[in-house]
């Protein structure tokens, strides 16, 4: 084999290897509700182990963007690719891409953990069953293994002592930590947090952010929508600032928060700082 051939092979291998570092690619995402355009062409990617925080004023489309990633909000157009697999669409024999049904989407969604602002725990199940349900029903574990996994995940969020309680008996912060344990039990490739502390009393925010911080330190890939700027600075590898359905600016916490270039971002940061949400 000549040198050119070897080089060509190396290059082709390299091109194959390169994308494997990328976990999620979002390309030209659009979403409209009726005539209201909420997302106007969002593109970004997340590397394996990367922590991406999305900030922006309310109504900027950041939650919609997050919810589009697991197709809870099916985008009007755009492509979402999770480690080489297109989410929410399958190719027909004629080569067109067709929207999947919720049933077809289920195994894809199972790979993405999601934590909601309002927790959405299942009130008729104990905390342990809330966490063990996915492993049993989706991953097909037996009850014993699922409970073992659930207890492990509850230990991670420091709630081992609450396993037999029902969600309604827990504080908001505890409920949100159960919701995080539930997402972790999916053993997901990617974690999505949709304003996980916005519904909490101020004194309960810290315990939830603490748990998310620990997960970030474990090297988990995550996208977090939040108003907690100080927290974003601590955990984010990259911050994306959205406004009006587009990405206005993105970069490292330091560059974006300390040297914002865009006037809208500057104004947003000023408002956040003066309202005290960042403390």
Partner 1 sequence: MIPIDHILEFARPLAEAAAITIFVSVGAFGLALALGLSLAVLRDFHPVAIIRWLVQVYVEIFRNIPSLTHLFLLFFGLAYVGVRLSSIAASILGLGLIGAASLSEVFRASFESIHHGQRESSLAVGLTPSQAFRTIILPQAWRVALPPIGNYAVQLIKDTSLVAAIAAPEIMFTARNLVVNTFETTLVYTLAALLYLAICLPLSRVIRHLEVKSATPR
Smallest separation, CB 257 to partner 1 (Å) = 30
The nearest distance, CB 262 to partner 1, in angstroms, is 32
Shortest Cβ distance from residue 188 to partner 1 (Å)?
A: 9
**CB nearer to partner 1: pick between 64 and 134:** 134
Binding residues (CB under 8 A) for partner 1: these are 70, 72, 102-103, 105-114, 116, 118, 120-124, 133-134, 137-138, 166, 168-169, 179, 182-183, 186
Q: How far is the CA of 262 from the CAs of 60, 61, 65, 148, 250, in angstroms?
A: 15, 18, 21, 49, 10
Residue 242 CB, nearest distance to partner 1 (Å)? 21
- Which of 123/276 has CB closer to partner 1? 123
**Residue 141 or 256: which CB sits closer to partner 1?**
141
Side-chain half-sphere CA neighbours of 127 within 13 A = 28
Unique residue bearing structure tokens 């922590």 = 51
Instruction: Looking at 78-171, list the stretches that DSSP marks H as alpha helix, in order from N- to C-terminal side.
Output: 102-109, 127-137, 143-156
Decide whether 171 or 252 has the Cβ nearer to partner 1: 171
Provide φ and ψ at 45, rounded to 5°. Answer: -140, 160
> Rounded to the nearest whole angstrom, what is the least distance from the CB of residue 21 to partner 1 in the complex?
25
Q: Which is nearer to partner 1, 70 or 226 (CB)?
A: 70
124 by Cβ neighbours in 10 Å (0-12 / 13-18 / 19+) ranks as: exposed
Helices (H) and strands (E) in the chain, counts: 10, 12
């Amino acid at each position: 084999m000549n040198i050119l051939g070897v080089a060509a092979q190396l290059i082709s291998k390299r091109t194959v290897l390169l994308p494997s570092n990328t976990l999620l690619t979002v390309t030209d995402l659009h979403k409209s509700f009726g005539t209201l355009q909420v997302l106007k062409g969002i593109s970004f990617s997340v590397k394996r182990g990367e922590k991406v925080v999305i900030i922006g004023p309310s109504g900027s489309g950041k939650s919609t963007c997050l919810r589009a990633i697991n197709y809870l909000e099916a985008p009007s157009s755009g492509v979402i690719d999770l480690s080489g697999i297109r989410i929410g669409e399958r190719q027909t024999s004629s080569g067109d891409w067709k929207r999947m049904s919720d049933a077809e989407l289920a195994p894809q969604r199972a790979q993405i953990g999601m934590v909601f602002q309002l927790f959405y725990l299942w009130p008729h199940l104990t905390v342990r069953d809330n966490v063990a349900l996915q492993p049993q029903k989706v991953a097909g574990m037996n009850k014993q293994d699922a409970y073992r996994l659930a207890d492990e995940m509850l230990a991670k969020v420091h709630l081992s002592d609450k396993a037999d309680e029902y969600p309604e008996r827990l504080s908001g912060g505890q409920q949100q930590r159960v919701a995080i344990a539930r997402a972790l039990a999916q053993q997901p490739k990617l974690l999505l947090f949709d304003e996980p502390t916005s519904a909490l009393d101020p004194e309960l925010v810290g315990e939830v952010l603490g748990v998310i911080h620990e997960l970030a330190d474990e090297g988990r890939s995550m996208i977090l929508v939040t108003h907690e700027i100080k927290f974003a600075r601590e955990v984010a590898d990259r911050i994306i600032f959205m406004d009006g359905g587009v990405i206005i600016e993105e970069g490292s916490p330091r560059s974006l928060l300390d040297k914002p270039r865009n006037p809208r971002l500057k104004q947003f940061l000023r408002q956040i700082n003066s309202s005290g949400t960042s403390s």
